Amino acid sequence: MYGLTFDALRRSWPVMAVIVALLVVGDRFIDGIAPQIALLVVYGVAAFSTYRCVLLHDRVTWGGVQSSTGGGVTDLPLFAFLWRFVLISAAGLALAFFPIFWLTYFGRFYLSSNPEVNVIGMTLLGTAIGLPFSLLLLIFVGTLLPAAAIGGDTRIGSALRRGRVRFWKTIGRFFAGPGVVFLLVTLVMGKSAMNPTITMAGDITLHLIGAALGVFCTMMVAAILSMAYREAEATAPS
């Protein structure tokens, strides 16, 4: 999975670099729900590019998508992919982060009198509670995304079958890959949010690291779902 992710990064690094820059600007300087949805779409472009790179060996550049044979790819199913990505991602984020919001703002439950320690602790505790639910969602319907990216079978029943067939293997990959990266992102962004003395240059640097890790985590999730899709389809009844 790490090898596939780095290979996809090699095939799409110009686009990923722009995506990281957009995420830093958006996260650092833009507030509001609508811009956050726009940033989710930006993550969707990163995921779409990764699926194309992993499953079809495409190369994604500023000028468009190049197939493995060298020709340009037209009529990309980007919109069909993005609305599914936004829907599934929003549902997964809601499941993962609702416990964090509840613990911090409604539960009035504090792990420490130190604000920085408390925010990071609440994030980790809330994630530990909510993440299994979002993980189950990704496993059972997440293969709709690689299917949509390459024009494959996007029926819910087919996604559920693929999730069931590759369930335990996919869980192991999620914990060994994105789980580690997500922890790093949480620690980096928590440090940035709760340090009142940090300079603007230092804050932007932390946001840059967080955005790069976030994009890499997105690519790794896409690589894992691509593997689940490919392996399940290889054993599907004809």
Contact 53, 224 (CB under 8 A): no
In whole angstroms, what is the distance from residue 203 CA to residue 28 CA?
9
The answer for 57, left when phi > 0, alpha when psi is -120 to 50, beta otherwise, is left
Write the CB contacts of 26 (distance below 8 Å, at least 6 apart in sequence). Answer: 35, 36, 38, 39, 42
The backbone region for 107, taken as left when phi is positive above 0, alpha when psi lies in -120 to 50, beta otherwise, is: alpha
Which of 27, 132, 14, 147 has the alpha carbon at shortest distance from 85?
147
pLDDT at 122: 67
C-beta separation of 59 from 66 below 8 A:
yes
pLDDT at 191 (0 to 100)? 59
* Low-confidence stretches of the chain (pLDDT beneath 70): 28-35, 69-70, 100, 103-124, 126-127, 185-198, 238
> What per-residue confidence (pLDDT) applies to 16?
94
The span from the CA of 116 to the CA of 118, in Å, is 5
Q: What pLDDT score does 228 carry?
A: 95
CA 98/CA 90 separation, integer angstroms: 12
Q: What is the pLDDT of residue 198?
A: 66
How far is 31 from 35, CA to CA, in rounded Å? Answer: 7
Question: Is the dihedral angle over the CA atoms 135, 137, 143, 145 positive or is it negative?
Answer: negative
Q: Which helix (H) or strand (E) holds 31?
A: none
pTM as predicted: 0.83
Q: What is the pLDDT of residue 145?
A: 96
What is the CB-side half-sphere exposure of residue 129 using CA atoms within 13 A? 13
Helix (H, G, I), strand (E, B) or coil at 186: helix
Which alpha helices (DSSP H) does the chain contain, by range? 2-29, 33-56, 78-101, 115-141, 144-150, 156-165, 167-176, 178-193, 200-234
Which residues contact residue 109 at a Cβ distance below 8 angstroms, ignoring those fewer than 6 apart? Answer: 103, 122
How, if at all, do strands 59-61 and 64-66 pair? Answer: antiparallel
- Check residue 128 and give its pLDDT: 74
